[in-house]
Structure 1
Amino acid sequence: MTDMSLLIVDDDEPLRLRLARAMEKRGYVVQTAESVAIGIQMARAKPPAYAVVDLKLGDGNGLDVVTAIRQVRQDARVVMLTGYGNIATAVAAVKAGAADYLPKPADADDVDRALRVGNAAHPAPPDEPMSAERVRWEHIQRVFELCDRNVSETARRLKMHRRTLQRILAKRSPQ
């Protein structure tokens, strides 16, 4: 593709702006949106060749943006970016038309690589994948946030002792 238009849809403003600057340095012509509604509106007004869409946005689900992009531009390469990674959402993203699915935090190199990989090719595994401890910590944090930061409810859902969970939450994230 010679068209390097890129739409970034993410409600995390610092991440969105940092990723936009990094992708502009890599040659993309970037537009940003902070919500599903604005993302769909921008995709319909000027269909992008590439898109990076967060799964969970303040006003809805990023899969709606992916579907809208696919309706106006079949050849668009869309990457789903999310902090709520699991198999079910990855499958839903691919069914909606996303070409790849990256967990947060993903750096600009990972995003660029996922966008530029050919449709028939599979992306290479990451050079430095998250450690098992980091994956566990991310999962615990995600469930904790989904339970509105309620330690007792989180411990119940994770089937772990409340004091054990409190000790894990008090520690810094593993690398």
Structure 2
Amino acid sequence: MNDLSMDFVAEPDQTLLIVDDDKPFLQRIARAMETRGFAVEVAESISDGLTRVQARPPAYAVVDMRLGDGNGLDVIGMLREKRPDAKAVILTGYGNIATAVTAVKLGAIDYLSKPADADDIIRALRQDPTDRATPPENPMSADRVRWEHIQRVYELCERNVSETARRLNMHRRTLQRILAKRAPR
């Protein structure tokens, strides 16, 4: 009698959820990840992403930080609850240290700035957690460090401009102008 369980080799779970409200980017990344062997599901909103995680938690997730209906960190948090072994990457066009730290605390394994390509995403999803990043060749400027600090306090104050300005001992309008500008290099 042939034992079928000995002949069967389970393939690793390659389910991937991509949550992003930029439709062209979402479609491009989904196609690229499918050609690399992933079983891709897409969501264009936080609520849709949460529904999909609730129904079938994927092995991998790529989640945009800011979407029209909320924060991608909510999807990461639920994924961590439903499937602790899942690997998730946060994508954002608004990179700052505070949100990167929060993303990692909630279970993201990496934090990539847009535009990221499929190879960057796969590298992040499949990296060895014991690998250490190499020190930067060009460290942040003093202006960038200041901007990062302001962003961190802003996130800690739950994006309340008045509270952030009070804690930084800064005029509210000055803070609003800083927050409206792009990050310095």
TM-score, normalization by structure 2: 0.68
Q: 1:131-170, aligned counterparts within 5 Å?
A: 157-158=177-178
Look at both structures and tell me which one has the larger radius of gyration over its CA atoms.
2
Q: Which of 3, 20, 32 matches 2:42?
A: 32
Give the 3 Å change call, closer, same or farther, for CA 113–88 of structure 1 in structure 2.
Answer: same
User: What RMSD in Å do the two structures reach over aligned CA positions?
Assistant: 3.4
SS, match of residue 78 in structure 1: strand
Quote the offset at 1:118 in angstroms.
2.2
Q: Which residue pairs with 2:17 in the alignment? A: 7
- Percent identity between matched residues is 58
Cα contact 1:40–1:68 (8 A) shared by 2: yes
SS, match of residue 67 in structure 1: helix
Q: Which residue pairs with 1:117 in the alignment? A: 127
Structure 1 distance, partners of 2:117, 2:46, is 22
Structure 1 distance, partners of 2:135, 2:24, is 27
Structure 2 distance, partners of 1:113, 1:58, is 28
What are the Cα deviations for residues 119-170 of structure 1, in whole angstroms up to 9, with x where unaligned?
Answer: 32346799xx99x9xxx8xx9xxxxxxxxxxxxx89x824xxxxxx9xxxxx
SS, match of residue 100 in structure 1: strand
Give the 3 Å change call, closer, same or farther, for CA 122–52 of structure 1 in structure 2.
Answer: farther
Segments of 4+ in structure 1 off by > 2 A?
A: 118-126
Cα contact 1:113–1:123 (8 A) shared by 2: no
Cα contact 1:8–1:31 (8 A) shared by 2: yes
